[in-house]
Structure 1
Amino acid sequence: MPTWRLRDFHDDDLDRAIRMWEQDRQADDSYPVFPISEVMAAARAGGSAVVAVVGDDVVGMAVSRNEGERAWITLVALSDTWRNRGIGSALITELERRMRSQGVRRIGALLAPGATGTKALENSGYRSRSGLLYYEKAEHIAPSDAGLLAELGGRLLPPGLWSDLAGMEREKGTIERRIVLPLAEPALADRYGVIPPKAVILFGPPGTGKTSFAKAVASRLGWPFVELFPSRIAAAGSGSLATSLRENFADLAELESVLLFIDEVEEIAGTRSGLAVDPSHGVTNELLKLIPGFRDHDERLLICATNSVRSLDPAFLRPGRFDYVIPVGPPDSSARSAIWQRYLGPAADTVDLHQLVEASEMFTPADIEFAARKGAQAVFEREVAHRQGTRATTQDYLTAITDTRPTLTDQVLTEFNEDIQTYVRM
């Protein structure tokens, strides 16, 4: 019977190690916590890797990832014909020796139940800990996409933006039902014949939160958020606005998933004059041609926002390009109350919230945020001047409201309500 021996892992062992790992995984019918690519990367980045060989054949392998005084055993794999020979325990013992020499004092292991290595770990003095849960989250951006996303000015937004949206419950509920849920649960949507949206329009007065809703949807889905600014596309491109737009969409197609947001979309999709010399024809036509191609990919969502939906070209609004046209209106009294509470902070305990809500009837969420900041600044400056433990008063914020010009007017609200009757599709 040939004998086995231990030695360092060499790059030439990689192919044989992968084959053994695959056979080992299929034999155990278990899902590995660490994929082989991550295991190899850890070994080359300062971890420890040991193989057991018989002649030139690799029959066992163990790898750890070392992080200061803490280390994780990320792989224990054995050839089928060389199990129950003490190789697994020997590999772990050798790993421990190497880890101790690097200052490791605490060693953990994450293995699926019944996977290769569980018996070897128990024989080496490791004890499983019950009552623990393993959590995992897969990011929606591949490492190869990170550079491209940065070039496009995009980013992964922090989690929790959806839950942070204060007030606007009517709009929030509509957007969640129509947009978020079908995209977040595509298998369930498919079971009931629901087609997830690929492109939507949000319209409403300035400052009502259209951009915040778009970012919150990206945060909720965990997709990269990319905003295209019509005013910047021409400057960034080498030719016309239409060419720059086409180049940006071509780059976006390389991402695995993306929420593309275009604010003030009327700048590149306004009503065409009908004159052949009209320079807006080219860019509007180009955008109309690009949207169907964008819709062909999974995990893609285009959100366009506009303050003036009536100024968009009729061809742009035609069904088949946009799944929904959703109004985002001014906040009602309940929404204003929630928004004030969000921005008041500690002052919420010392002011009359009802008075602020009533006084800010024609305010958008952006107006309320500005007035809240202005009121807080006044209290801060008074405290700096007098150092008497100043507390915020209702009057501080009522003064700030008076000094803030509201975005909403009777004319704006009349036009918005007319647009709801004419353009809404949801």
Structure 2
Amino acid sequence: MTRTYIRDFHGDDLDQIVRLWGQVTRENEWPIYSLAEVIASCQQDHAVVAVQGDVLVGAAVGRAAHAQGWIVFFGIAAADGSSDVSASPLHALERRMAPLGLAKLSILIPEEDGLDAFTGNGFEVHHSVRYLERDMPIQRREIESLKEVGGRILPPHLWDRVAGMSHEKSLLKERLVTPLARPELAERFGVVPPRAVMLFGPPGTGKTTFARAVASRLDWPFVELFPSRLADGGTGLAGALRASFETIDELEHAVVFIDEVEEIASRRGGTPPSPTQGVTNELLKLVADFRDREGRILICATNFIRALDAAFLRHGRFDYVIPIGLPDAEARRAIWARYIPSESAVGVDLDRLVAASDGLTPADIEFAARRASQEALARALREGDEASALTTDDYARALGGTRATVSAAEIDEFQADIETLARL
């Protein structure tokens, strides 16, 4: 029988490592570590192989971090599963990693795999352990590009925190989130995932919140472009916009958001031409180019949709033009519940506050709630009664002093815009 040698991994072993990985994982459709991770650890971390002549019959690959060692891959060729070959690479890898001062060496394996090679080498089985993982929303190669355009990864569950507004959420889920998150399902029904969407409505109604929620639900980086900041650059606003979109093009996924887009996409024409006409022309070109790439979406928002250039809203540039109005009763209830302290919630008539705040934006309600809390605290300090709780009257008084951001005339205009400009 050909003698088995245990030695360190060489670069020339890579092809046989790939062959061995494929053989070992063929029966397991879900390997813990991908081939790319195994190759990276072979080249950068620690790896030993078992060879018989010129044939690689076994391998053990590991990496270490913070006194914790992990076996990234362990495999023995099917024809050479003898106990001596099985144990030797594990033992050799342990010896090689010992100088790193590891406290533990661990491995995750599929449930159906055998344990003899590990238990025979001193590994202890821990029951009631589940393996969880998630794909990172941004890869290392994209970090600098994301940083350059001021993008960030948003916390999860922002979508779930948008309470109420069920009609708007349903529209965004059906039109944006599902086709982008599940392109295979969209293709099955002949739905083309959107590339650009316009949100419009009165100020303070939550358009930015919805854009952020979409990014959170998709688990994509969120890039907000601020025209006022871009204008401060030396290349001019049009050049800065172009440079930003070129950098965004280096990201695999992205939700790009431009708020108050009317500032850079206003109606062209007039004598002399509008100062922003060149910027509008550039933005129209950028939107057209942006639509050619998958895995990203542009969300624009405006308080004044009538001010936008007609070409900007034309079919073929924006897939949907979606109205975002004032919060409905369900949404107002959720907003109030968010700002009323738990100690006071039992004694507050939430129905009364919901009815009294009809016509207010989320920001208006937040202002009233915070004002009520501040006034109640000041009163408690004056009266020496720090155990007192807020009452419905406290919030009602704060509402009485809160001016609505959106006027009745603006609401009427918004309803008219829905009839003439919305595209759902």
TM-score by length of 2: 0.90
- Aligned-pair CA distance for 1:93: 2.6
**Is the 1:76–1:88 Cα contact (8 Å) retained in structure 2?**
no
Give, in whole Å, the separation in 1 of the partners of 2:76 and 2:89: 10
Q: How does 1:111-190 map to 2 (within 5 A)?
A: 111-112=109-110, 119-124=116-121, 126=123, 132-190=129-187
- SS of 2:340's partner is helix
Of 286, 290, 294, 1:294 maps to 290
Q: Which ranges in structure 2 are unaligned for 5 or more consecutive residues? A: none
Give, in whole Å, the separation in 1 of the partners of 2:330 and 2:46: 59
Q: 2:290 matched to 1:263?
A: no
Aligned residue in 1 for 2:90 = 92
Partner amino acid for 1:64?
A: G
Deviation readout 1:311-343 (Å, 9 max, x if unpaired) = 111110111100110000011223211221122
Aligned residue in 2 for 1:409 = 407
Partner amino acid for 2:403?
A: R
Change (3 A) 1:105 1:280: closer
Of 361, 375, 378, 1:378 maps to 375
- Aligned-pair CA distance for 1:221: 0.3
Deviation readout 1:350-399 (Å, 9 max, x if unpaired) = 31112212221221011111222222222333445525312111122222
Aligned residue in 1 for 2:6 = 6
Change (3 A) 1:40 1:193: closer
Partner amino acid for 1:290?
A: L
Change (3 A) 1:379 1:42: farther
Partner amino acid for 1:206?
A: P
Change (3 A) 1:57 1:179: same
Change (3 A) 1:390 1:113: closer
Of 307, 328, 331, 1:311 maps to 307
Aligned residue in 1 for 2:201 = 204
Q: 2:328 matched to 1:332?
A: yes
Aligned residue in 2 for 1:192 = 189
- Aligned-pair CA distance for 1:103: 5.3
Give, in whole Å, the separation in 2 of the partners of 1:361 and 1:113: 56
Give, in whole Å, the separation in 1 of the partners of 2:97 and 2:235: 58
- Aligned-pair CA distance for 1:405: 1.7
- SS of 1:86's partner is helix
Aligned residue in 1 for 2:349 = 352
TM-score by length of 1: 0.89
Give, in whole Å, the separation in 1 of the partners of 2:199 and 2:47: 54
Q: Which ranges in structure 1 are unaligned for 5 or more consecutive residues? A: none
Give, in whole Å, the separation in 2 of the partners of 1:63 and 1:381: 64
**Is the 1:204–1:307 Cα contact (8 Å) retained in structure 2?**
yes
Identity, % of aligned positions = 46
Aligned residue in 2 for 1:219 = 216
**Is the 2:62–2:72 Cα contact (8 Å) retained in structure 1?**
yes
CA RMSD of aligned residues (A): 2.6
Change (3 A) 1:63 1:273: same
**Is the 2:21–2:35 Cα contact (8 Å) retained in structure 1?**
no
Kindly tell me the number of residue pairs found equivalent between the two proteins.
Answer: 419
Change (3 A) 1:68 1:224: closer
- Aligned-pair CA distance for 1:97: 4.8
Deviation readout 1:140-182 (Å, 9 max, x if unpaired) = 3221001110111001111100001122112111111111111
